[in-house]
Structure 1
Amino acid sequence: MSYIAFDKNQLINLSFSLQREVLRTNRKGSYSGTTVVNCNIRKYHGLLVSFQPRIDHQHHVLMSTLDVTIVQQEKEFNLGIHKYEGDVFEPGGHKYIREFVADPVPKLTYRVGGAILTVESVFAENEDRLLLKYTLVDAHSDTKLKFKPLLAFRNVHFLSRANDYADKSFDKIKNGCKFRMYENYDPLYLQFSKRNTYSHNPTWYYDIEYSKEQTRGYEYKEDLYNPGVFEVDIAPGESIYFSAGLGDIGSRKMEPIFEKEIKNRIPRDSFIHCLENSATQFFVVHNDTTDLIAGYHWFNVHGRDTFVALPGLTLPNKKYDLFLHVIDSMIQKMEGIFFPSSLLDKEFRYHSVDTQLWLFWSLQQFVKFSGKHKMVWEKYGSLMANILNEYRNGTRFNIHMLENGLLYAGSDNDSLTWMNTRIDGKPVIDRNGLAVEVNALWYNAIRFYITLAEKMKQTDGVDGWKEIAEKIGTSFAGTFWNYEKQYLADVVRGDHKDFTVRPNQLFVTSLPFSPVNDEIKYLVLQKVQQELLTPRGIRTLSPKNPNYQGKYKGNIVQRDTAYHQGSAFPWLMGHFAEGYLNIHGKSGFTFLKRLLAGFEEHLKEAGIGTISELFYGDPPHKGKGSVSHAWNVAELLRINYLLNEFEQNINRNK
């Protein structure tokens, strides 16, 4: 039996099946995404969604979905399903589904009368191509399949409406047709592995609804274009392949490519294998660069997310070359000493204080796994020195070092840390000043640089950094620690100290070099465990705070308000686990194993086999946001590595 499987009773219950999504990506950055019953509920869903560089740097839905009809004895059974106004679902093909399994590839089994049809899907790793395999397992009479593609040709952030500008022409190609609705788009090639007939009958399907967009407060109705219908005969025991791609494919190549793609997949037959499979889906190769997508479906390249996620996604499996290629690709995108915080339209934005410091942590992890101190120093030593020097001397965004060695950042309406949501141009949380995690990262970066320099016997200027590190070691606790409250301030600005209970203090417990002693680490972990820890991640705000928002829902303003005011993030669990092991050792091992195992059930709750962006701070801690988020997957994999490493060390010392 497949590790992830759903039966008929679960699948025909749309309140269950429409909450579960399937996502497949490739190394070109394209993806295929829908629900387990093939009913699109997001504007981001589509069977073939790809970058269109002649238009912009964002994803575009080319083929939204594919309605398939089984024809027997002149009776038609449409397997498609779309939502229309009033919770009407037509044609209602989900009622024919008998089973969904996720391994080795997503597979649906339909039963219509005497016919049993299975549909398996793969998304080609190195080209923009979806392959679907239709197998008629059994049939009591002659059977024909009709295929009705519904096309969109639009940016994922917008919706299509019927119009007179769409190009309704088509070109016949081998066993299929080629379509291009608008200028500057790549043509879409729809082809089969055997001969078929095509009847051209351009039709618009009006007002298909996407329930997730309606819930999120966005436009949610779309018109989709159907150019015509393909028909093909199929015999019992026969398999027919359908390809939707951005290039031509020979009919005889479909089956071997399909089988090869299956063999190249990490099987989704266990919790960790699912995470490892998911980890491969965030990497995108463009010519000589390799980028890391922060999450699907609407995220792009984010510098902070890249450096936080990269170690967990690559190093436990010794993918050192991939790690370095992503680092080098990020360096190509730098503006001065700043890495891009995000990509908006065609332009990178550079607006972060901690992203540069996360680079140090990422390289630190690489050295820990690979032992390649010399290579890191020779390749990145001068870059690290430039970042440290400019931060010390002062740079944009009012980033500068104070006399006591601590790092100050931000002014006015800046939002430079990871808690950077904004409403009407203003930050939801004002964290300008001395942010606790920024200064923990600053101290760690300086100490890492000193360690590398001394190991390589390159000590020019190191004494000055040692003095700064010692200053920070002295001033950090005096600035952030409160002996009565027994935890660290989140932000200090002049005489004002913000003792809002947030998870940012957590990093003093996990970073390789920390500016606080073990007693403070113990008390910080205790505070986080008491007020912020949930089974699905670490809350961004204590429920005791009057501004706490335990549910991430509603329109964009409501969601942005809740994002860092109570929502729980799994990626923070990685630093909680590392800090907990550092302080509690063997006594904390079983507790952390249970925490990690608690995420297993989520693999079947939202994005199949992967981890959502965030969770409700309140029970039942429902997954929300993007269905697959890189740093969450990465940090759970890193927790698994830390626990395995710890267990091996215990066994060696017996």
Structure 2
Amino acid sequence: MIDFGREICNCLEIAQEREWLITNGIGGYGLGTVSGVLTRSYHGLLIASLNPPLDRTLLLTKVDDTVHYNGEVYSLFTNRWINDLVEPAGYQLIENFKLEGTIPIWNFSLGNGRLEKRIWMQHKANTTYIYYTFKQGSQPLTLSLKALVNYRSHHRGNLPNLTTNQIDRGVKISLSNQSSDSFYLLTDQGKFSPIYEIYGGFELVKESYRGLPDRDSHLCVGTFEATLNPGDSLTFVATTGHPNPLVSHQLNLHDHSTLGKLLDGISALQERRQYEQSLLDQWHSSGSPRTQSVPSWINHLVLAADQFIVDRPLDNHQIGKSVIAGYPWFNDWGRDTMISLPGLTLATGRPEIASLILRTFANYISQGMLPNCLPDGNHPLTDHDYNTVDATLWYFEAIRLYYEHTGDKILIRDLFPKLEEIIDWHCRGTRYNIKLDPQDGLIFAGAQGVQLTWMDAKAGDYVVTPRIGKPVEINALWYNALRIVSELAQVLDKSYDLYDNLSQSTLKGFNRFWNEERGYCFDVIDSPELGNDPSLRPNQLLAVSLGETPLSIAQQKRIVEVCGELLLTSHGLRSLSPKDRQYRGDYGGDQYKRDTGYHQGTVWGWLMGPYVLAYQRVFNDPIPAREFLEPMAYHLRTAGLGTISEIFDGNIPYYPRGAVAQAWSVAEVLRVWLELNQ
């Protein structure tokens, strides 16, 4: 279990770095710090997905909770104002904090009284619960909850004009003159006193560090107040009023039965607990290691894996599945989804989700390519959304692992024509000059101003990592894809000679990547700008870790050794060798500084998966392979609680950066841990 005492909770500099995350399975989320202070524009208690899984909108920012007890006033909340003024300092009243599954729980000390607070989201609904329990005390207390709201993009934006209307058990908040764009704040007891006051001047230190606007304003709409006796609880609900916006109509909050059910905090909490327990039960029943041999941090990752899986509506009015690449700012992306799919679904005992994801993305294949970005609302996909050369090739690997896990020939039969189509388009050429070079059997890809590989950072018009040409991991993926489609053709009793011949050509051509002088692979060959790029990057590890490798045993061993010597860290692999003059070991600063350092030494957590698998393939020694993963257990307690960050500094102490929860980081660590322990 992840839990902290006063040594963490009462130190603001530490407690504000530890962030909890709650999600609802349709793209909505809540995010905040252990201290309660806002440090990001993305922090909020209800960030609703108004057009699932996107259009994420900050609705309820925070609740400033105050307790009157035994003649004293206790402000449980913490705010940071302009010029780093922290007032009040409610974090000093936190006795302890813990995660129960994904549910954050605080216990506040009130003299001889104790008040517990927990927060969670209802599954498949834009609804957040805040549940207070007066655990211990000698007399009643009065709990006052001041609600601060907004109605802006979760990224950032100005506070819009809002209208409030008092209703039974709370208040309705709407965009002015647009009553359909509304949400509700409700409690199961007490009284509501309306206020309409803008609170400006919130200072957001994380945004300041990232060189982004670091001031925010929110609207106080009123105060909820109730008296609790020892043992009593209070339920506070923030909701858009839709049980599930993808399939349900608006709730009738004028109906007392409907309202009563919504405000039944005990039942809602039990429902959330049962859902999370079902995820663990499904994992344990799917052939995972015995329960007693599973460390608690792995159980946390099983629950974290579910936080990225979301519903996505399809054009045929069916509900598909996709993967949010990371919280708080990423959408669902093709590349990240395919890399993450095995760890998020197969490793957690949920192959039916994997099947849905694979079928969902098949709907978007165009000119032999998977999109990098999926449709946002009613906007159709354009060529710009297909700016990825690797997402399509990762699709083959995801299908291979799915079939290996399930033996499901029906899905293979249904998707095989799509795989044939992809190979055909790559052979004759598709968008962005992605095409097979018949001279060496390798894939060339690239167009000026467009980044197609996962190392895709641009700073304005400046391409930071120019990889036009034949990137090493793209051709490892291409060879792997050809071997996969050949094997699947045989499973379906189809002709496979074409794919065997293509793969033999690629196998022969792949020798061009080997840099004999340095003892590892060129990162890109035939680059119009660089020729053959000798930069030491981790991309070549995929030529070792994928199901099919085009390298000799000696080459595999040398790659693992050199990457281990210069790229491996406690939390992933550096994106560039520290011996390179372009190396950047600290990630931060404004947009330009961050983008120019994104792949120039920054550590990526997801790469721990390919490295550990490559190590195991070469040395066949699972004990040290498992030990590479152990530092991640400590990381689960230092940034995004119970999950894994997107990136880390390349220099010691490898400080976590970027998104606090990243799908492929969680997925690859979980998948590889399970593979090494089965």
TM norm structure 2: 0.90
Amino acid aligned to 1:490: D
Q: Counterpart in 1 of 2:77?
A: 80
How far off its partner does 1:494 sit? Answer: 6.0
Partner secondary structure for residue 628 of structure 2: helix
Report the counterpart of residue 650 of structure 1 in structure 2: none
Q: Quick check: 1:595 aligned with 2:628?
A: yes
Instruction: Quote the RMSD (CA, aligned, Å).
Output: 1.9
Confirm or deny: 8 A CA contact 1:103 1:269 kept in the other structure. no
Correspondence for 1:371: 407
Q: Is the 8 A contact 1:405 1:471 kept in 2?
A: yes
Aligned to 1:315: 346
Aligned to 2:244: none
Match of 1:622? 655
Query: C-alpha separation between the residues in 1 aligned to 2:618 and 2:195?
Result: 69
User: CA shift at 1:184, angstroms?
Assistant: 7.0
1:321, distance to aligned residue in structure 2 (A): 1.0
Deviates more, 1:527-536 or 1:87-96: 87-96
Long gaps (5+) in structure 2: 242-252, 281-293, 314-318
**How far apart are 1:239 and its partner, in Å?**
1.3
Question: What is the Cα deviation at residue 565 of structure 1?
Answer: 0.4
1:271 alignment partner in structure 2: 297
**Which secondary structure does the structure 1 equivalent of 2:505 belong to?**
helix
Provide the residue aligned with 1:223 in structure 2.
217
* Matched residue SS, 1:596: coil
Partner of 1:116: 114
| TM superposition shift of 1:540 | 0.5
CA offsets, 1:342-401, max 9 Å, x none? Answer: 2586555111111110100110111121123x3243111110011001100111211111
Q: How does 1:121-136 map to 2 (within 5 A)?
A: 121-136=119-134
Equivalent position amino acid for 2:194 in 1? H
Q: Residues 160 and 224 of structure 1 are in contact (CA less than 8 Å); yes or no, is this contact kept in structure 2? A: no
Contact 1:122/1:262, CA 8 A, preserved across alignment: no
| Distance apart, 1:74 and its partner CA | 5.9
C-alpha displacement of 1:452: 1.2
Q: Please list the CA deviations of residues 561-582 of structure 1 after superposition, one character each: whole Å capped at 9, or x if unmatched.
A: 1110001112111111111111
1:504 aligns with 2:535: no
The CA distance in 2 between the partners of 1:67 and 1:269, in whole Å, is 36
Matched with 1:380 is: 415
Letter in 1 for 2:525: V
| Alignment partner, residue 568 of structure 2 | 533
> Is the 8 Å Cα contact of residues 334 and 374 (structure 2) preserved in structure 1?
no
The answer (yes or no) to whether the contact 1:303–1:340 under 8 Å persists in 2 is yes
Among all aligned residue pairs of Structure 1 and Structure 2, give the percentage whose two residues are the same amino acid. Answer: 30
Q: Of 438, 449, 456, which residue of structure 1 is paired with 2:474? A: 438
Q: Secondary structure at the match of 2:36?
A: coil
Match of 1:256 in 2: 267
Take 1:521 and 1:99, find their aligned partners in 2: how far apart are those partners?
48
Note if contact 1:4-1:269 (Cα within 8 Å) is conserved in structure 2.
Answer: no
Deviation, structure 1 residue 269:
7.8
Helix, strand or coil at the partner of 2:51: coil
Work out the CA distance in 2 between the residues paired with 1:234 and 1:494. Answer: 70
* Cα separation, partners in 2 of 1:336 and 1:467, compared to 1, 3 Å: closer
1:634 CA drift (Å): 0.3
The Cα of 1:301 is off from its aligned counterpart by 1.0
1:245 equivalent among 239, 248, 261: 239
**Which amino acid in 1 is paired with 2:542?**
F
Partner of 2:289: none
Find the counterpart in structure 2 of residue 19 from structure 1: 17
- How far apart, CA to CA, are the structure 2 residues paired with 1:214 and 1:494? 38
In terms of mean alpha carbon deviation, does 530-539 or 70-79 score higher? 70-79
Secondary structure (helix, strand or coil) at the match of 1:544 reads coil
| SS, match of residue 476 in structure 2 | helix
Q: Given the superposition, is the C-alpha separation of residues 393 and 286 from structure 1 closer, same or farther in structure 2, using an over 3 Å criterion?
A: closer
Deviation at 1:550, TM superposition (A): 0.6
What SS class does the counterpart of residue 265 from structure 1 fall into? helix
Q: In structure 1, give the amino acid aligned to 2:443.
A: L
Q: CA separation in 1, counterparts of 2:609 and 2:70?
A: 58
- For residues 393-404 of structure 1, the aligned pairs below 5 Å read 393-402=428-437, 403-404=439-440
1:302 is the counterpart of 2:299: no
Partner Cα separation in structure 2 for residue 566 and residue 515 of structure 1: 26
- 3-state SS of paired residue (1:208): strand
Shift of 1:47: 0.2
| C-alpha contact 1:170 1:178 (8 A) present in aligned 2 | yes
Aligned to 1:36: 34
Number of the residue aligned with 2:500 = 466
Q: Does 1:390 align with 2:425?
A: yes
Gaps of 5+ in 1: 646-654
Partners in 1 of 2:165 and 2:74 — Cα distance?
27
Structure 1 residues 178, 166: CA separation in 2 closer, same or farther (over 3 Å shift)? closer
Give me the whole-angstrom Cα distance separating, in 2, the residues matched to 1:466 and 1:8.
62
Give 1:28 shift: 1.7
Distance in 2, Cα, partners of 1:464 & 1:321: 31
Q: Deviations over 1:45-94 (max 9, x none)?
A: 1000012239x943111000001111136643221211112221122211
1:578-612, Cα deviation, whole Å (9 max, x unpaired): 111111113xx221111111110000000000000
- Match status 1:190 vs 2:190: no
Residues 548 and 117 (structure 1), Cα distance of their counterparts in 2 relative to 1, 3 Å cut: same
Query: Structure 2 counterpart of 1:210, which letter?
Result: L
Q: What is residue 643 of structure 2 aligned with on the other side?
A: 610
Determine if the alignment matches structure 1 residue 290 to structure 2 residue 318.
Answer: no
* Inter-partner Cα distance in structure 1 for 2:376 and 2:410: 35
Counterparts of residues 550-569 of structure 1 (less than 5 Å): 550-569=585-604
SS in 1 for 2:577: coil
Q: Which stretch of structure 1 is more off in the superposition, 404-413 or 328-337?
A: 328-337
What secondary structure, in the 3-state scheme, does the structure 2 residue paired with 1:187 have? strand
Kept in 2, the 8 Å contact 1:52–1:185? The answer is no
Aligned length: 631
Q: Distance in 2 between matches of 1:504 and 1:216?
A: 27
Task: Please tell me whether the aligned partners of residues 5 and 100 of structure 1 are also in contact (alpha carbons under 8 angstroms).
Answer: yes
1:280 aligns with 2:306: yes
